[in-house]
Amino acid sequence: MLKIQGILVPIATPYDHRGDVYKVKLASNIERLNTISLTGYVVGDELLTAEEKSLVWELAAKAAKPGKLLGAVTTAPSVRETVALTNRAAELGFHFAMVRGAEATKALYYEAVADAAKIPVLVEADFGTTHPNILRTELSTNAASLFTDLKAGAKGGVMAIANAIPYSMQLIWEAYRQREEEAGFDWQERITALAQVVAKYGLPGLKWAMDVNSYYGGKPRLPDAAVDDEAKAEIAGAIKDLKS
């Protein structure tokens, strides 16, 4: 069974002025991330069509450095479509799928997807199942508590903020691996202000933080709106000491 540990970056999809997937910028962002010892990338988001998901998976698989772990977000309303997307990701070289089912039906949904999926399916850590194709890896999703979560048993983290400050997030993981507790808590404290302000403004805030640190965030896709000047200033202030 696949084991997942370390920092995974859920790639923020870039869009061009027409609102289409910005292929060149997606590839260049990943190529820059390749220079850092991150575990890998999770690709695809809710605002993408099925065709666009296939496109970004193909682009990411080509851009990712060999050895990077690749996860595909394949959640769809029906089991049938989720399975189709998952197996398309498998064809493109992805190692696992990340899916999320509705609370009332998630047991049926997860197991039905896992039955037909050609790659392992990652679900919530607290979901009780012994299905051989379902991963039960506890991963942190809260940047402000990453080091604390690792010490409490998390095996790594899916860190959206790593789109903007990948090196800082990787340093927290390295501090944990090397048992450098002081350094780990120090880096966690350093990134907390940015984590809080990005959480406040959501994906549009994250994209602006990426722009400030020379990654390509660009405009969010509707219905999300770009952050205003006041928010931009707040984000820029929080990231100024974390640029790399």
Residue linked to tokens 């970056």: 9
pLDDT digit string (tens) for 163-181?
999 999 999 999 999 999 9
Tell me what pLDDT residue 125 has.
54
* Residue 23 falls inside a structural domain: yes
CB 72 within 8 A of CB 53: yes
CATH number of the domain within which 40 lies: 3.20.20.70
pLDDT digit string (tens) for 11-53?
999 999 999 999 999 999 999 999 999 999 999 988 999 999 9
The count of domains in the chain is 1
Residue 126 confidence (pLDDT) above 70: no
* Residue 237 falls inside a structural domain: no
* Residue 120 falls inside a structural domain: yes
* Residue 235 falls inside a structural domain: no
* Residue 208 falls inside a structural domain: no
Tell me what percent of the chain is helix, strand and coil, each rounded to the nearest 5: 50, 10, 40
* Residue 207 falls inside a structural domain: no
* Residue 196 falls inside a structural domain: no
State mean pLDDT over 106-127: 86
Q: Domain span at residue 64?
A: 6-180
Contacts of 111 (CB under 8 A, 6+ apart): 129, 131, 134
* Residue 234 falls inside a structural domain: no
Tell me what pLDDT residue 128 has.
62
Q: How far apart are CA 113 and CA 103, in angstroms?
A: 15
